Chain A
Amino acid sequence: MKKAAQLDRRIIYVLVLVALAVPLLLGVAVKPARMTSAEKVYDTIEKLDNSKKQIVLLAIDFGPNSMAENLPQAEIIIEHLMRRRIPFATYSQYALAQPFLGSVPETVAARLTKENNSESWIYGKDWVNLGVKLGSPRIQIQALADSESIPQFLKKDAKGNALADLPAFQGIQTLRDIPVFVQLTSLTNTFESYVQFLKREDFRPIFLHGCTSISIPKAYIYMDSGQLSGLLEGVAGAAWYSVLLKEKFPNRANDSSLLINTGLGVAHLVIVALIIWGNIAALLAIRNSKVKET
């Protein structure tokens, strides 16, 4: 019993590894649980009027260290925006996010074009990469929010094109032309900067947020206060969003979020089983030692 209570950590690692690997290798994807916060993100984007001159600001504030959860979120939101023909601009305050700003929209556009050859998504018209803006985030965000001409303030995109010349920015002047702001990150402090300063006296965009599992409890505070209108809770949020998109676009190919979510579910079951095992073994070991003492 003592041995059972002191299971070698490497055996636990192998068990978790097998639990995660099996669904991936077999390609088994179970339907995820319903996430009402993710539905709110979906509904917000679904309700946007694509005939208006407006642009969605998408802050991709994640790097390779949290791409496991944030990348499926970015892909799914970009896909939805592209399907609805709502122009968006990618932007980041995080240096390691730089490769994702351009690559994620390009990958999603290529996948959508493959799905439907008659349609195409063009850089400059459907999306713009504003690049990484390092420095004091709070000052930059406040300056952006107060700007009377965002194309003049930001001047150029990451490729060096003047924003004023790009079709996506035609008619875009102030923060009022950005109806929705989406941030995907594992860095909680960057989100607070946006909540604090991305606003004008009489206007504040609708805030949507995608966080990693680790920061879900904190993100709920903002949901409860109404500062957030929708939340993608880790990869589980992305997986449910994927189901909602599949319902609307049946020809859509399954994405990785469903597979990852299934793997996570199996791994959680293994962890719960190990916790129960550990507790029972520890209790029995204590009981046995008491019996020996008496």
Chain B
Amino acid sequence: MDTWAIATTLLGGVGTLAIFSFLIKENAFYRFFEHLFIGIAAGFGIVVTIRDTLYPMILVPLFGLDIFHYPDGTVSAEYDARNLLFIPAMIFGLFYYLIYSKKYNWLAKLVIGFTLGIAGGMMFEGFFTEMMPQIVGSFKPLIVMEDGKFVWGQSANNIIFVFTLIAVMYYFFFSIRPTTEVGRVVSEKLAASGRWLMMICFGAFFGSTVMARMALLVERLQFLFGPWWKAIQTVVVGS
């Protein structure tokens, strides 16, 4: 490991321990590294936006920075005048900052309206593309036959799926009140089943959340036991 790698690894380990120190109690060490992390994440985002998006995708084509001028006066490529279209788009986008002006904030509303219009239109299209296969996929056969034989496993799976779907949907269905006693009992039982099934689902979500958090801890432990410990040994022992 070179000196820079050792320094960053050591700092990473100290930062990890600082964040974990919150488990004992709230302390200044933890608070300092929390603020440091938020600052770094925000700053990193800005740098990547400028370096990977704004500069190569807009500024380079706009100012023709990728065109080489050779000593004989020729150029590697002609400037594409269509790149000038970035200017009105950028000016329009900058109107967003007029939201802070009392006099001109109506111009910001134009940008917001334009953005909402695009987002709304795309969401409309996206919703159907995403949801239609899922809706169609939920119409499952309750009796599954394969080569003339009844498939128990898949049939049971589909029956549970369809019952869960109906029960959970019914739990959120408040429009019609059953008029008969039987209807009232069935309706109550179905809604209660829906609630229980949702509770099971939330349990699965909670279980997977615990699993995800454990995985994060394992990764940090691997880092502390591996590269961080090696870096400490390198500093202390010098090998």
Residues of B contacting A216 with CB < 8 Å?
208
Contact A95 B49 (CB under 8 A): yes
CB within 8 Å for A134 and B137 given contacts A10-B24, A139-B122, A216-B208: no
Contact B212 A212 (CB under 8 A): yes
**Cβ contacts A to B, 28 pairs, < 8 Å:** A10-B23, A16-B214, A24-B218, A65-B216, A68-B215, A68-B218, A96-B45, A98-B52, A132-B48, A135-B53, A136-B118, A138-B119, A139-B118, A139-B122, A156-B56, A197-B129, A199-B129, A212-B215, A222-B134, A224-B134, A225-B137, A234-B208, A260-B215, A260-B218, A263-B218, A267-B214, A268-B211, A271-B210
Residues of B contacting A156 with CB < 8 Å?
56
A1-35 CB contacts (< 8 Å) to partner B: 10, 13, 16-17, 20-21, 24-25
Q: Which of B24, B52, B221 contacts A21 (CB 8 A)?
A: B221
CB within 8 Å for A217 and B205 given contacts A225-B134, A264-B214: yes
Contact B214 A20 (CB under 8 A): yes
Q: Which of B209, B219, B225 contacts A260 (CB 8 A)?
A: B219
Total A-B residue contacts, Cβ distance less than 8 Å: 134
Q: Complex Cα distance A215/B134, Å?
A: 17
B80-131 CB contacts (< 8 Å) to partner A: 118-119, 122, 125-127, 129-130
Residues of B contacting A264 with CB < 8 Å?
211, 214-215, 218
Whether a CB of chain A sits under 8 angstroms from the CB of B11 is: no
**What is the chain B residue whose CB lies nearest that of A132?**
B52
Contact B52 A158 (CB under 8 A): yes
Contact B52 A134 (CB under 8 A): yes
Within the complex, the shortest CB–CB distance from B163 to chain A, in Å, comes to 15
Q: Complex Cα distance A195/B133, Å?
A: 11
Within the complex, the shortest CB–CB distance from A196 to chain B, in Å, comes to 3
Residues of A contacting B217 with CB < 8 Å?
16-17, 20
Q: Complex Cα distance A199/B118, Å?
A: 19
Residues of A contacting B125 with CB < 8 Å?
196
Contact A131 B210 (CB under 8 A): no
Contact A217 B222 (CB under 8 A): no
Residues of A contacting B212 with CB < 8 Å?
66, 69, 186, 212-214, 234
Whether a CB of chain A sits under 8 angstroms from the CB of B70 is: no
**A residues apposed to B, CB below 8 Å:** 10, 13, 16-17, 20-21, 24-25, 65-69, 71, 95-96, 98, 131-136, 138-139, 142, 156, 158, 160, 186, 192-193, 195-197, 199, 212-217, 221-222, 224-227, 234-235, 256, 259-260, 263-264, 267-268, 271
CB within 8 Å for A134 and B23 given contacts A68-B216, A98-B48, A213-B215: no
Q: Complex Cα distance A71/B218, Å?
A: 13
**What is the chain A residue whose CB lies nearest that of B209?**
A214
Contact B129 A195 (CB under 8 A): yes
Residues of B contacting A193 with CB < 8 Å?
126
Contact B133 A225 (CB under 8 A): yes
Within the complex, the shortest CB–CB distance from B20 to chain A, in Å, comes to 9
Whether a CB of chain A sits under 8 angstroms from the CB of B173 is: no
**What is the chain A residue whose CB lies nearest that of B54?**
A134
Residues of B contacting A133 with CB < 8 Å?
52-53, 57
Instruction: Encode contact with A along B198-239: 1 for CB under 8 Å, 0 otherwise.
Output: 000100110011111011111111100100000000000000
Q: Complex Cα distance A24/B214, Å?
A: 13
Contact B219 A68 (CB under 8 A): yes
Instruction: Encode contact with A along B11-36: 1 for CB under 8 Å, 0 otherwise.
Output: 00000000000011000000000000
Q: Which of B23, B133, B209, B221 contacts A226 (CB 8 A)?
A: B133
**What is the chain A residue whose CB lies nearest that of B47?**
A95
Task: A13-B23, A138-B119 are known; give 11 further A-B pairs, CB within 8 A.
Answer: A69-B212, A96-B45, A134-B48, A134-B52, A138-B122, A197-B122, A225-B134, A225-B136, A267-B218, A268-B210, A271-B210
